[in-house]
Structure 1
Amino acid sequence: MIRKILILPLIALIIMPFNSVLASTLLADPTSEVVDNISEIKSVDFNTDFYFETNSEKMDNPFSLHTDFDGVIDEQGNGSFDFALQVTDYDSQFKDFYGSMIVTHDKIYFSQAGDDWFFIKMNDGQISLFSENEENDLDQIKTLITEMLKNGVIEYHAETVDYISGKLAVRYYYEINCEKLADYLIEQRQISNTDAIKLKSLQEQNLKISGNFWIDTVEMMPVMFTLDVVSDPVGVAYTKFGFSVLLNSINKVTNIRVPESALSFENYDSRQTEDFVMSSIDSIESSLDTDGDGLTNQDETNIWKTDIFSADTDGDGYKDGTEVINGYNPNGKGKLDSDGDGLSDYNEMTIHWTNRFDTDSDNDGYNDGLEVAYGYDPNGPGRW
C-alpha cells in the first residue's frame, strides 16, 4: 500500500523528458532506480499538512480549517501494517483539537488530548491493505498515468532544486486539465456524459488542480508532495484546499509501541466502529463556529435561528454572540426575551435554568423574572 501511494506522483518520470537543465544534470534518467527503490519501501515517517478555506457573498469572514498529521506507517511481513498518527487542528473555526491513533493488524487505539487510551478489537477480520497482486496493481497504475500523460490530462516539468530536510531534491510542477480528464474518463467509460459535463464545468469556474513533488538526488527517493485545488469564480466567492506530505525518513526503525494500559471497547464490529466514528465527527461539528461570532453553528440553527455565515445577522454592528450573551436579539432590535418574563433567553438557559418560553416555569402563579428579582426560586418553592 505504501508503494502504491508513493509511486503515483513519480510514475510520470517514465515517459516525460526533463525540461530543466539543472534537474537533468542531477538526475539524468532516474526512472528505473526510483521505481525500484519505492518497491523496497517498508516504513515511512511522515508529516501531512491539510488546509481548507472557503468564502461566499453571504459570509462576513472566510471559513478555514488547518490540520496537521504526524505519523508512521510500518508494513509487516504478513501483509498487515502498523500505523501511528497524531492529529492537531488549529487556525480554524473549530476549537483546537489534538488526538492520537495507533492501528495494528487487528486493533485500533485512540486517545484525545493526551487522555486515557482506548482500543477497539476488530471481530470481523484483520485490518490489511496488502494485496497479493501488488506488482500487477503497480503496473496498472503505471499504464493509467502513462495514458493520462499521453492525452494531456497531466502536464509537468522540472523547475529547480531545493534543500528539504538537508536533502538536495529536484522540484517538479504538475497540473491536471479537468476538461481533458473528463474526455479521457468518457473514453475509458469510467463516468457518464452527465458527470463529464459537470467535470468540464469546473474548468469554467477557473478550477485549478496543481502541485509539486520533489525527488532526492542522492537516495533517489520521493521527499515531498503537494496538491492544491483552487476554485475562483467571478466575485468574492472561492474555495481552496490542499495538502502537503513530507517524508521525514524511509525504512528507518519505527518502534511503534501500543499503550499497554489502553481500555477495551468490547465486541465492536465494523458497523459499531462506523457508528463510533460518526458520533465523534458529530461531536467535533457541534463545536464549529463558521462565522466566528461566538455561537456554534448548532446553536445558531437550533436555538437562535441566526445566520451561520454572518457574524452579525441583523446588521446592527454587534456580533450575534455578543448580543445573545448580553440579552439582546441577534435577529432584530431590543432585548431577546421570548416569554416576556423579564429574563433574557440566554440567562434563562445558562443561569436560571428556566423555560424561556414560559413566564412561570414552576407554575406557582408568579412570574419567573419577579421570583428572581426577589430572591425566590423560579423552578420551585422557596428562596434560592
Structure 2
Amino acid sequence: MRILLSTFGSRGDVEPIAALAVALQALGAEAVVSAPADPEFLRLLDRAGVPVAPAFMPVRAFIERARRSQWPLPRSAAEVMAGQCEAIAAAAHGCDLILATGLFPSTAAAQAVAEKRGVPYVMASFCPVVLPSPRHPPLAYPGHPIPPGVTDNAALWDLNDRAMDALFGEAVNTGRAALGLPTLDHVRDHVRDHVFTRRPWLASDPVLSPWEPTGRINAVQTGAWILPDDRPLPPGLEDFLEAGEPPVYVGFGSMAMTGAQDAAGVAVEAARAHGRRLVLAGGWAGLALAEGVADGFEVGDVNQQALFPRVAAVVHHGGAGTATAAARAGAPQVVVPQVADQPYWAGRVADLGVGIAHEGPAPTVETLSAALGAALRPQTRERAMALSARIRPDGATTAARRLLDLIGGDAAGRDDGALGPEAHGSIPES
C-alpha cells in the first residue's frame, strides 16, 4: 500500500506529516511526503527517513515572491493551486490514498488530484478552530473581517462560506478545469466544504484541544502527530543547562515577529527580571543575542522533546506543535500569538491553567515580565505537570492504523474519514 501525504506550509505543517509517515512505515506501508523543499524541511524528512516528492517550490521562497510582488490572496491562491496540482499529480502515481494538510489551496489541489485519480482522500487539520462549528467563530480573512455586532457563530460560518468562495473559488475551479474535473457551483457546493469534506481529521490532542461533534461537521480526532526525536542536545547547551537553574526558553518558530521591536532583547530583560537565564531560538525571525550576553544561549533547530522538560517556562508564538511539545514536557507556557490559530492555543493554555496568554503580538519588557511571573508560579508548574500525563503520545500511530483500515476496505463514499470523489457535496446545515 502506498500513501501520499501532502502539505504546503511551515514546519508546523511538515513535522506532523513526517510523524505520520514514520508511523505508516512502521506498520509496513509505503508513505511518500510531498512537502516544500526548504533546506530545513529536507533535513527533517531525511532524519525521519521518509521519501520526499517536492512541492512546487520552497515555501519561504514563495512567501518572499508573493510579498515582493504584492499579490492579493486570490492571486497567491491561484499560484499555489496550479503549482500543487502539478506537483501532487506527479507524486500520486501508484498511490492508494491521498491525505492533505497545510495551506487551503494546496489541500484543494490534493483533493482534486484524488478525485481525478479516483482514490480516497483525507483532509487533516491541526487545530479545531478552523473547522466549522457553532461552538466557535471562524478565523477572519483579509478583506473579509468579522462584522461588528454579529455574534451568532452559525451566521459567521455562513459569511465564511462566502468569503472563502470569493478568495479561493476561482483558483480552485481553474485548477479543477485543468485536470478535466467539473467546476464547483458555489451556490450549492462551497469550496471549503468540498475540500474539507464532511469528515475531516483533526490531528490534535483531545485534552489540549477538545472537539465536540456538530450537525455541520464531524471530525475524526486522532491525537497529535508527534515525530519522535532522539537527537542529543548540543554540548554547549548541555553545559549551559548544567551551569545554573533552569532557564526560560523563547522561540517564535516560523513567525517573522516584524511587529515586535527587539524581541530578543525584550526576552533577555524579562527573564532577568525573574533571575532567570535564557535559551533563545532564532527561528524565521532571525532572533539573536546581543554581543556579550553571558546569561543567554542561542539555538537553531533543537530537540524540543529533550529541552523543554529542563526549562522553567516556554515562551512561544502559539503554534500547535510547540504548544503540544510544551504540554507534553510539563513546562509552563507564555503564548504570544501572532496570526491564524495561535490565539486559540493561547486561550487553551490559559483556560487549562498551564500558562499565560500574552495580550497582543508585540511583547514589551513589562508585559512579558508580568506574563512570565505568572507562568513561573509553582501552582502553574503543578498544573502543567499534571496535564503532561494526560497528553496522548500515539496520535500518529492511531491515524496510520486508521488509514490502512480505510484502504483495506471500500472507503469511497463512506462516512468514516476518507471520502471518494462522489462524496464531496455540501455539508448539511446544523
TM-score range, shorter chain: under 0.3
Q: TM-score, normalised by structure 1?
A: 0.21
Greater per-residue strand proportion: 1
Greater per-residue helix proportion: 2
Q: TM-score, normalised by structure 2?
A: 0.20
